[in-house]
Amino acid sequence: MNNSIYEVINNDYCIGCGGCAYASNNFSIGFDLFGMYKASFKNNELTKETDLADKYCPFSDKTMNEDQISNIIFKDVENKDINIGRYIENFVGYVQEEPFRSKGSSGGYGKWILNELLQKDEVDYVVQIKQGSEIEKLFDYEIFKKGDDVLSGSRSAYYPVTLNGVLDFVLNNKGRYVITALPCFAKVLRNIALNDEIIGSRIKHIIGIVCGHLKSKAFAELMAWQMGVKPENLRIFEFRDKIKNLAAIQKGVYAIDKQGNKTQVVSSKTLYGGNWGHGLFKYKACDYCDDVFGETADVSVGDAWLNEYINDSGGNNVLVIRNQRIFDLTIEAVKQGRLNLIPISVDEIVLSQAGGLRNRREGLLVRLERKKAQRQWTPKKRYFPISKIEPERKRLYIRREKASLLSHKLFKKAKLIDDLHFFLKKMKNKTGKLDMPSLKYRIENKLYLAWQHYKKLIKKVLNG
Ligand SMILES: Cc1cc2nc3c(=O)[nH]c(=O)nc-3n(C[C@H](O)[C@H](O)[C@H](O)COP(=O)(O)OP(=O)(O)OC[C@H]3O[C@@H](n4cnc5c(N)ncnc54)[C@H](O)[C@@H]3O)c2cc1C
């Protein structure tokens, strides 16, 4: 086997984006047993088409990485940072003209820029996520054209989605497109666009969604189940409603069952699974990704997880703009008072995603080294200089990865035996250990603090 995409699929590093299925009939995309889109293949043949699939797959070794893509797409953009990629300017704030902010996840810039591009006749089609009400698919990509309500697009979908089908639509329908995409989806879109003339000429803009990790369908199901809606009855789930007077970070959630009954809106932090650090139901691929910001997108849109903004229940965005046209449209709207944005430094942008970056730099290195020691295949990653990683943190990254892999299996079993408490009990046992430093660490820490204390005392005595 020469194609690295077969390694990706066989070793479960697939994110289900659909790039391979667009390239070759040998691949198809469907839900796996745990509620994640995954590719499967008929045979491991090596053909022109499977070679192309290998060039598109975001986790294949044959694909161009984020730096190589950016060096082509954003060659004129001089500013560059190891954590956020290339950038013209970075901003924080929100959309002033309503109802973008109130209907958005945070500041509302995501759907605002899509709408702006459509209204200004810069594109013919907007491709974004829409909330559905099918038991099999609560969220899916949908194509919007002029006259459609772009604001009916979803807020953040912490839910599996795929470009399978979207790419065929783009191929078969002439026009200019803007597409919202998680970092790995932006990467596959760029790699296709750079190889496929038709797709390349039609995709005008990619709106990147900053990403900590993607989750399986189980995340929505677990949250809804805790609110009294069982997985088989769940029809609609909202991950990012806003609760007045509550900090944006609380992320309001609600569920609607098949009879149309809506639960109360509650903070996701009051439900088990709402702690993103636990990484429940994470795709394995996300632990082997090194792009938090979506470095190949024209603009990356994220939450302003910064002290000054985190308590604002209205929500605020951080933006990293790489495309000149998007920059011009944004600046024009700021001047007109339609956007309330101020420039911020790279350091602040980085700080807003400190946890995600730590996991995809330090954590990634630990996971890669571990797999290497086990002689297991992993996707090739970019190199990032990293200073010493404390043994306690190493252990934490490994425990986190194990816990997230276990969560898929335990939830599947909980559904089978119809017992939510089975999952909660077993899983809380695991994640409890993630929250609490190990005994070894606590002892090491105590000894270290005691030593510092005595060092100071000795110094004092010696100095008289
Ligand atoms: C899986 C996931 C993980 C995320 N992790 C982080 C994180 O770690 N840190 C952070 O700051 N922000 C993260 N975000 C982004 C954040 O949740 C908001 O989506 C972002 O700040 C945009 O806010 P907005 O107010 O501009 O949204 P809106 O104006 O509501 O626009 C959001 C746009 O994104 C589209 N969209 C929603 N979900 C997806 C998806 N899965 N794939 C493609 N398009 C989608 C919507 O259709 C809509 O067009 C994540 C989002 C997702 C989906």
Closest residue by Cα to atom 41, ligand 1, is 157
- Model confidence pLDDT, tens digit, residues 270-309: 999 999 999 999 999 999 999 999 999 999 999 999 999 9
E strands, 82-191, where?
85-86, 89-95, 125-134, 137-145, 177-181
Q: Establish if 371 belongs to a structural domain.
A: yes
Nearest ligand 1 atom to alpha carbon 109 = 26
What are the phi and psi torsion angles at 452 (to 5°)? -60, -40
**Are 257 and 379 in a shared domain?**
no
Nearest ligand 1 atom to alpha carbon 180 = 44
How confident is the model at residue 434, as a pLDDT? 78
**Are 118 and 161 in a shared domain?**
yes
What separation in Å is there between the alpha carbon of 134 and the centre of ligand 1?
21
**Are 19 and 81 in a shared domain?**
yes
- Cβ atoms of 273 and 221 closer than 8 Å: no
Boundary of a domain, candidates 252, 278, 304: 278
Confidence band for 406, pLDDT divided at 50, 70 and 90: very high
What separation in Å is there between the alpha carbon of 444 and the centre of ligand 1?
40
Nearest ligand 1 atom to alpha carbon 303 = 11
Q: Residue 455 pLDDT more than 90?
A: no
**Are 256 and 349 in a shared domain?**
no
What separation in Å is there between the alpha carbon of 121 and the centre of ligand 1?
24
Confidence band for 215, pLDDT divided at 50, 70 and 90: very high
What separation in Å is there between the alpha carbon of 302 and the centre of ligand 1?
7
Q: Report H helices in 216-290.
A: 218-226
**Are 245 and 116 in a shared domain?**
no
Nearest ligand 1 atom to alpha carbon 103 = 30
What separation in Å is there between the alpha carbon of 60 and the centre of ligand 1?
25
Of the chain, the percentage scoring pLDDT greater than 90 comes to 89
**Are 182 and 77 in a shared domain?**
yes
How confident is the model at residue 438, as a pLDDT? 63
What separation in Å is there between the alpha carbon of 232 and the centre of ligand 1?
26
What separation in Å is there between the alpha carbon of 51 and the centre of ligand 1?
32
Closest residue by Cα to atom 40, ligand 1, is 157
Q: Residue 363 pLDDT more than 70?
A: yes
- Model confidence pLDDT, tens digit, residues 145-199: 999 999 999 999 999 999 999 999 999 999 999 999 999 999 999 999 999 999 9
Q: Residue 141 pLDDT more than 60?
A: yes
- Which helix H or strand E contains 5, and what residues bound it? helix 4-10
47 is in which domain, residue-wise?
A: 4-215+282-355
How confident is the model at residue 439, as a pLDDT? 65
Q: Establish if 444 belongs to a structural domain.
A: no
Q: Establish if 463 belongs to a structural domain.
A: no
From 113, 125, 156, the mutation candidate for ligand 1 (largest count of ligand atoms within 8 A of CB) is 156
What separation in Å is there between the alpha carbon of 226 and the centre of ligand 1?
24
Sheet holding 252-257, edge to edge: 234-241, 252-257, 266-267
List pocket residues of ligand 1, CB cut-off 6 Å.
104-111, 114, 128-129, 153-158, 161, 180-182, 209-212, 214, 301-303, 305, 315, 317, 353, 356
- Model confidence pLDDT, tens digit, residues 235-275: 999 999 999 989 999 999 999 999 999 999 999 999 999 99
Boundary of a domain, candidates 315, 340, 355: 355
Q: Establish if 455 belongs to a structural domain.
A: no
How confident is the model at residue 361, as a pLDDT? 96
From 209, 214, 357, 358, the mutation candidate for ligand 1 (largest count of ligand atoms within 8 A of CB) is 209
* CA nearest to 215, candidates 457, 352, 34: 34
Average pLDDT over all residues of the chain = 95
**Are 257 and 336 in a shared domain?**
no
Q: Establish if 302 belongs to a structural domain.
A: yes
**Are 143 and 260 in a shared domain?**
no
How confident is the model at residue 437, as a pLDDT? 63
Residue 388: CB partners within 8 Å, gap ≥ 6?
A: none
DSSP-derived letter for residue 362 is I
Q: Residue 1 pLDDT more than 60?
A: no
**Are 304 and 332 in a shared domain?**
yes
Enter the tokens of residue 180.
């919202």
**Are 165 and 211 in a shared domain?**
yes
Global pTM reads 0.94
**Are 241 and 297 in a shared domain?**
no
169 CB-contact burial (10 Å; exposed 0-12 / middle 13-18 / buried 19+): middle
Q: Residue 441 pLDDT more than 70?
A: no
- Model confidence pLDDT, tens digit, residues 65-115: 999 999 999 999 999 999 999 999 999 999 999 999 999 999 999 999 999
**Are 224 and 80 in a shared domain?**
no
What separation in Å is there between the alpha carbon of 105 and the centre of ligand 1?
7
- Model confidence pLDDT, tens digit, residues 305-336: 999 999 999 999 999 999 999 999 999 999 99
Count of domains forming the chain: 3
How confident is the model at residue 461, as a pLDDT? 85
Q: Establish if 447 belongs to a structural domain.
A: no
- Model confidence pLDDT, tens digit, residues 8-38: 999 999 999 999 999 999 999 999 999 999 9
